[in-house]
Structure 1
Amino acid sequence: MSAPLRLVIFDVDGTLVDSQGDIVAAMTAAFASVKVPLPPRETLLSIVGLSLNVAIPVLAPDAASDVHAKMVQAYKDAYIQLRADAGVAQSSPLYPGALAALKILGARPDTLLGVATGKSRRGLDKLIEGHALHDVFITQQVADFHPSKPHPSMILQAMTDAGVTADNTVMIGDTSFDMDMAVAAGVRGIGVSWGYHGREKLGNAHLVIDGFADLLPTLQSVWGEAR
């Protein structure tokens, strides 16, 4: 009997790529554009994973909605410029072992790969282009077309795209938003400890790993439990 088709969905920022430098710089520009006091760095990184229209009001709760809109646009403009100046590979480098893990998983006939990210369609396209990840992800869910994490919409659509059941789907991410989204969608969440939320915030994770070298053995364990 052949193995069931499986789907591995990855978050992007803080999971596959380390984009914290550009995120903090773009947020700094966004706050400066409307002269709103900038929160501490750890606060800025705590909202990574949320869609911008949700993250900005969390970071600047006392600002008016029109100010939030200006900040969102200023962030996008600054991020695009930072990426253009440095190049994707420099501004958002892949974490050690990420590319090798994607290649190994992508070569398995029973495994499909996807992403679910708070990035825009344009932002994800640039990242995929910059790291030559064309044809790696068969389903790509972005902030343009979904409610912000932890709403399960991204995972549910990814499973529909792939034709894979919840029992055979896992969500890989670095934040509580990713793990809460996995729970809401009825799939297992595998947390990563190297991202923007500490291990202590990943309480809803089925398991937490400390490096990409741990991912394949962990998936084998999860799939074994799912049988």
Structure 2
Amino acid sequence: MKQFDLLVFDWDGTLMDSAGAIVMSIQSACRDLDLPIPSDAASRHIIGLGLNEALAELLPGLSPSSYGQLVERYRHYFLSQDNEIPLFDGVFEAMQELSEMGFLMAVATGKSRRGLDRAFDHTETRPFFHASRCADESFSKPHPGMLLEILVELGVSADRALMIGDTTHDLQMAINAKVPSLGAAYGAHPKQNLVDLEPLACLDNFTELHLWLKTNA
């Protein structure tokens, strides 16, 4: 008997191995504009946030009027490799299996709608997901808005949903929405930071996460 009806996945760093590409794109964009180049750790920390929230945290001295230029350079670098960024090993097969097991599945992501649509199309995973929310059409994580909207759309109560993500932003969003969570410790944020937010489990690779879902969800 299933413990959960709905599995809500973060995208970058949870299903797609994109954290490294995001960090490189952030740092290259800053370098192009002679801005302070953030460290790998600082760049990884803002993965999953909405665009304005991410830039405000990463470069607090930067005027919002300069965001557009920085975003343009970031997109230049990220889109140059976008179609080559892979899903983690086993993700496609896992989505197929979990779908066949009868789970509803959704995505809650800091990506833009255009970015998620591109990712859906080039990974051919769109048919597996019954709903999705992006940072440019809802509140940024860790606000619970994206998760709450998905619950309403799919008619699932908070206790029957599970949020799965690789950042503290994902797990804090789940806490704010009163939804159980599962940590993906192979993505953007350090494992201990995830463990501190008390997810049901914190898995070290996607294979372990898939097995946990099959056995416990």
Please report the TM-score for the alignment, with normalisation by the length of structure 1.
Answer: 0.87
Query: How far 1:62 sits from its partner (Å)?
Result: 1.1
Matched, 1:168 2:167: no
Matched, 1:181 2:173: yes
**Structure 2 partner of 1:201:** 193
CA shift digits 1:140-194 (9 cap, x unpaired) = 1111111110000111011111111111100000000000000000100100110
Give the distance between the partners of 1:73 and 1:153, measured in 2 at CA: 27
**Which structure 2 residues correspond to residues 43-192 of structure 1 after superposition, within 5 A?**
43-83=42-82, 88=83, 90=84, 92-109=85-102, 111-192=103-184
**Structure 1 partner of 2:19:** 20
Give the distance between the partners of 1:196 and 1:183, measured in 2 at CA: 19
**What percent of counterpart residues are identical?**
34
Does the residue aligned with 2:136 lie in a helix, a strand or coil? Answer: helix
The change in CA–CA distance for 1:25 and 1:214 in structure 2 (over 3 A counts) is closer
Query: How far 1:5 sits from its partner (Å)?
Result: 7.0
C-alpha root-mean-square deviation of aligned residues, in Å?
2.0
Does the residue aligned with 1:144 lie in a helix, a strand or coil? Answer: coil
Give the distance between the partners of 1:164 and 1:216, measured in 2 at CA: 22
CA shift digits 1:67-122 (9 cap, x unpaired) = 23321233234322332xxxx2x2x211122222111111123x100000000011
Give the distance between the partners of 1:126 and 1:216, measured in 2 at CA: 24
Query: How far 1:221 sits from its partner (Å)?
Result: 6.4
| Structure 2 letter corresponding to 1:129 | D
Does the residue aligned with 1:140 lie in a helix, a strand or coil? Answer: strand
User: Contact conserved, 1:11 with 1:117, CA < 8 A, in 2?
Assistant: yes
Give the distance between the partners of 1:80 and 1:213, measured in 2 at CA: 28
Query: How far 1:139 sits from its partner (Å)?
Result: 0.4
Please report the TM-score for the alignment, with normalisation by the length of structure 2.
Answer: 0.91
Q: Which runs of 5+ in 2 are unaligned?
A: none
The change in CA–CA distance for 1:3 and 1:93 in structure 2 (over 3 A counts) is closer
Give the distance between the partners of 1:77 and 1:143, measured in 2 at CA: 20
Alignment coverage as a number of residue pairs: 215
User: Contact conserved, 2:111 with 2:134, CA < 8 A, in 1?
Assistant: yes
Query: How far 1:222 sits from its partner (Å)?
Result: 5.2
| Structure 2 letter corresponding to 1:105 | L
User: Contact conserved, 2:4 with 2:161, CA < 8 A, in 1?
Assistant: no
Give the distance between the partners of 2:63 and 2:171, measured in 1 at CA: 30
Give the distance between the partners of 1:206 and 1:4, measured in 2 at CA: 12
User: Contact conserved, 2:29 with 2:73, CA < 8 A, in 1?
Assistant: yes
Q: Which runs of 5+ in 1 are unaligned?
A: none
